[in-house]
A and B are shown apart, each in its own frame.
Chain A
């Protein structure tokens, strides 16, 4: 009893105790931002999940999902999307490594080159699609040039098919991957490489034994981000692809359900399937990444 009283006397006020754990009135500053994210992101997302279990026919159930998976035309979009997104993301990451490596450090015109690389990203897929249609089209400059130097006898079909979309994914995705990988490369302390050189490692060994292991986590992150960008490809699939056939991607199927069939349940279901497939790929990459060296890279990064 007495013990109780004394502890009550010593015990500071609730406000004080909360403040010690970091809860005080200044936390209110985060409330508007948090409410915003909950109302416009979390709630719609949960609503979408709920909606996907309420098929148009009525009732509650997996109707929208089974409809998607039982229709080969719809299920096919998964494969069509992966067939575009995986090669594009791999290409962008793999080619960014040697180019980023060759172009690291300071050189004249580096800032200019980086600026040029930002242009296709900020112009966006719609404008790139327009340019590709003209440049790679049957009468476009590239085909004219290939005909001129007798590489081909007739114009090659490079747009309105798979290749057009792949080109557009590379044009917008490569600079993105390159800039990210360059910034990861600049975060690796060059003295590590010098040390390896002193101990007699040649250029190839320095690259595969020192640089690549240090860069690998950054590569995983870059791959995920470029993959996610490519996976949700939408405008280029309709504009430079063949939206009724080989480039009918998942995003397009979701959009058609949403805006053309007004089937919000199926649209949400497709969006959620998209999200799940992305999560699987991201999870696999993360799993690989967790087996890698995760310590400091010693640089400024």
Chain B
């Protein structure tokens, strides 16, 4: 205990930014802005939460009374059971397919150098850099032409487009840091490509694959644009259903729309809690390496 305290003193004195108890005016402004941001965030989340339990809530600070019935109402009205089933189904299939397509590709990109590698890498990077709506509209046109538009498979195909590059961008650096001599040793001992993959690489790749799975999960469940453009009545995910319900405001009781929003929020939070056990918050946002951008 004393040893730890002893070690920490010189470190904190040596760093150029030591903490003072009373901040400068600039620091007050910064903390003020952060506080305002979090007040807005809390206001947004809590408003929806309170609304979903309100009997009526118009002109007062808090609702007149509280009830659970909007959840039952939302569950029936919006067929949340089947919507959630579709959402889970889409998410799981997108995860599985994007790993199957992405991991072998990232192995090649991490280990090999071949003519046109930069081009291939750029091609994989494009769908992540571009806003979904820009390529989503031509893609939806093609998917409808192929008869996939409006089906669950169309939604899965559309969500795979950013998911596969995302897996590649997460897995390529991960594979790069695995020592290639381990594979060489396995090959020298007589393992073929197949068994190098399944018996040597796969066990080492598990943490990376888990990380990319949760990242794809968060993105797929939250993905609005691509799902919205390609989904039909039987293939709406929760977030798209929520959008339709909000857009048709006035037809449904606002409280049951709020209840659906809370269900979505709860689902997202559970996923996030799981996700953050495997990845760091910055990774959820974007995975950029500067040398790929310039």
Binding site for B on A (CB under 8 A): 21-23, 25-27, 29-30, 32-34, 36-38, 40-45, 47-49, 51, 95, 98-99, 102-105, 107, 111, 114-132, 134-135, 139-142, 144, 167, 171, 174-176, 179-180, 182-183, 190, 193-194, 197, 206, 217-218, 221, 225, 228-229, 231-232, 234-235, 238-239, 251, 254-255, 258-259, 264, 267-268, 270-272, 274-275, 278, 286, 289-290, 294, 301
Report Cα–Cα, A167/B137, bound state, in Å.
26
Distance in angstroms from A229 CB to nearest chain B CB is 7
8 Å CB contact of B105 from A34, A102, A251 = A34
Q: How far is the CA of A33 from the CA of B101 in the complex (A)?
A: 5
What are 17 A-B contacts defined by CB distance under 8 Å?
Answer: A22-B114, A22-B115, A36-B164, A40-B160, A105-B15, A114-B281, A122-B268, A123-B222, A123-B268, A130-B257, A132-B44, A176-B286, A180-B282, A190-B16, A194-B16, A274-B134, A278-B134
Given contacts A36-B164, A40-B160, A99-B30, contact A193 B16 (CB under 8 A): yes
Bound-state CA distance A134–B265 (Å) is: 16
Q: Indicate if B58 sits at the interface (CB-CB under 8 A).
A: yes
- Inter-chain contacts of A41 with B (CB < 8 A): 126-127, 135, 139, 161
Which residues from B are CB-within-8-Å of A238?
247
* Residues of chain A with a CB closer than 8 A to B130's CB: 228, 275
Nearest B-chain residue to A289, judged by Cβ: B294
Q: Taking A141-B61, A228-B129 as contacts, is the C-beta distance between A180 and B286 under 8 angstroms?
A: yes
- Cα A258 to Cα B279 with chains together (Å): 37
Q: Considering the chains assembled together, what is the distance between the CA atoms of A193 and B17 in angstroms?
A: 10
Instruction: Provide the residues of chain B in CB contact with A294, threshold 8 Å.
Output: 294
Please state if A130 and B137 are interface contacts (CB–CB under 8 Å). Answer: no
Determine whether the beta carbon of B115 is less than 8 Å from that of A23: yes
> Are B141 and A37 touching (Cβ within 8 A)?
no
Instruction: Chain B residues near A255: list those with CB within 8 A.
Output: 133, 137, 229
Are B120 and A229 touching (Cβ within 8 A)?
A: no
B265: A residues at CB distance < 8 A: 123, 127
Query: Which residue on A lies nearest to B102, using beta carbons?
Result: A33
Contact present for A134 and B137 (CB under 8 Å): no
Whether A27 contacts B45 by the Cβ 8 Å rule is: no
Q: Which residue of B lies closest to A251 (CB)?
A: B133
Whether the Cβ atoms of A229 and B131 lie closer than 8 Å is yes
Interface segment out of the listed B65-73, B81-89, B205-213, B238-246? B238-246
Main SS class of interface, A: helix
- The smallest beta-carbon distance between B83 and chain A, in angstroms, is 14
B7 within 8 A of A: no
* Contact A27:B114 (CB < 8 A) given known A114-B281, A127-B48, A182-B282: yes
CA–CA, A289 and B143, complex, Å: 38
Contacts of B30 in A (CB 8 A): 98-99, 102
Q: A127-B264, A289-B294 are in contact. Are A29 and B108 (CB under 8 A)?
A: yes
- Complex Cα spacing A176 to B58, Å: 34
A interface footprint on B92-131 (CB within 8 Å = 1, 0 otherwise):
0000000011101101110111110100100110110111
> Which chain A residue has the least Cβ–Cβ distance from B288?
A221
Nearest-CB residue, chain B, relative to A268:
B138
CB atoms of A118 and B281 under 8 A apart = yes
Given contacts A99-B30, A193-B16, contact A44 B44 (CB under 8 A): no
A33 touches B44 (CB 8 A): no
Closest Cβ of chain B to A226, distance in Å, is 10
